Amino acid sequence: MEHRTAEGFDVIAQQGFAPVKMWTQGVPVDDRAKEQLAKTARMPFIHKHVAAMPDVHVGIGATVGSVIPTRKAIIPAAVGVDIGCGMMAARTSLTAADLPDNLFALRTAIEKAVPHGMSPSRSRKKGSNRDKGSWGDIPERTVAAWQDLSAGFDRLTDKYPRFRNTNNINQLGTLGTGNHFVEVCLDEEGHVWFMLHSGSRGVGNAIGRTFIEMAKEDMRTWMVNLPDQDLAYFPEGTDHFDDYVFAVEWAQQFAFRNRQVMMANTVEAARSVIAKPFTADVEAVNCHHNYVAREHHFGENVLVTRKGAVRARRGDMGIIPGSMGARSFIVRGLGNEESFCSCSHGAGRVMSRTEAKKRVSLEEHIEATSGVECRKDAGVIDETPAAYKPIDAVMAAQKDLVEVVHTLKQVVCVKG
């Protein structure tokens, strides 16, 4: 049963199970997403309730835009396969007047500095397995960043040798595909920001998929009945639980470093086409939105999985991006405990990628991204603004979770 409260969130009550609290007033929520949230809340180890952010939409197993607190258990599919995916933003000393008239040159410079996209295996050059979204010769900056990751990777691959045959160091400092991006933005006072979105790339994907399948196999071995097989879990105290926690924490560290390397390369690329010297360390935010962490809520130490959600403790800085044609926001957390101190990670999809390609024309995409130097071809229609919820409605629905510090509007957008 769903009902509205005076506290700014709606509740799905389930007799005998934990409820779902949803910060979704004024934004559309698919009935399939509500059912998926309800199934997750039926797991026996949920702590208090499941929280749904305003960008909530159907995911694999757990819903994207959900916060799942658990006692002594962890659901790998709730973290997903883009482990540690998140955002980074850096405010510069530049203003709009300092940007070159030729924004295409700026976009091209960033595209050259940050490997992006993906080469299908059938299109790769004969004798080469290199994906265009990976490094060929590993740059010094990437090698240096890998030093903090190498010991953990060795420990991980000593037990799971399969992870050696992944894109790991050769994708450290690369963007990927889908909704990942690098943007040049202007804030409300005309200051220039660089903002980017990516995660743990190929190695994180391999870790996620491997442990999701291991959890499913464990459930079959133990004959555990689940409301959805993608809610398969590892109980605390088992070898697989400990191995997964180590692997996911390593992948989250990889994702954090990945964004740092990309940001450094983006700034360097911008300096090659912007005549005025500038700094880019005035203000920086680097936050995950697909991850798990140990936290204390409602008197207990629990595992909090944020699948498409950002931690928003009082004073925490976060980033909530719109689509490639809409505004984005630098926010400060208000520490709302009912949401487990969380907020949305973006606008949230209202169309699947397939649906967007069928329903949105190239002309509509070009119009929606007017004023933004970006790709305007059929290959990015699945990321067109119409595929996402209105970001202003999303922000209004979570006004008791975060406060807006800066409003950004992109002028350049690099997509894979």
In tens, the pLDDT along 89-118 reads: 999 999 999 999 999 999 999 999 999 998
Name which residue leads in pLDDT, 120 or 72.
Answer: 72
The number of CA neighbours under 13 Å toward the Cβ of 164 is 8
pLDDT band at 127 (very low <50, low <70, confident <90, very high): very low
pLDDT of residue 124: 46
Contacts of 324 (CB under 8 A, 6+ apart): 181, 369, 372, 374, 380, 383, 384, 385, 410, 413, 415
Alpha-carbon distance of 301 to 311, in angstroms, equals: 16
**How many C-beta atoms lie closer than 10 Å to residue 52's C-beta?**
32
Mean of all residue pLDDT scores within the chain: 94
Task: Say if CB 303 and CB 69 are below 8 A apart.
Answer: yes
- Using the predicted structure, report yes or no on whether residue 144 has a pLDDT greater than 90: yes
pLDDT of residue 62: 87
Q: What is the pTM of this model?
A: 0.95
From 49, 197, 345, 365, the catalytic residue: 345
pLDDT of residue 269: 98
Alpha-carbon distance of 395 to 400, in angstroms, equals: 10
Sorted by where each begins, the domain ranges of the chain are: 2-350+388-415
- For 232-273, give the secondary structure using H, E and C: CCEECCCHHHHHHHHHHHHHHHHHHHHHHHHHHHHHHHHHCC
Q: Could you read off the pLDDT of 314-344 as tens digits, one per residue?
A: 999 999 999 888 999 999 999 999 999 999 9
Structure tokens at 127: 């004798």
pLDDT of residue 3: 64
- For 208-234, give the secondary structure using H, E and C: HHHHHHHHHHHHHHHCCCCCCHHHCCE
The number of CA neighbours under 13 Å toward the Cβ of 229 is 7
Q: Respond yes or no: is residue 345 known to be catalytic.
A: yes
Q: Could you read off the pLDDT of 152-202 as tens digits, one per residue?
A: 999 999 999 999 999 999 999 999 998 999 999 999 999 999 999 999 999
Q: What percent of the chain has pLDDT over 90?
A: 90
Helix/strand/coil for 183: strand
CATH number of 2-350+388-415: 3.90.1860.10
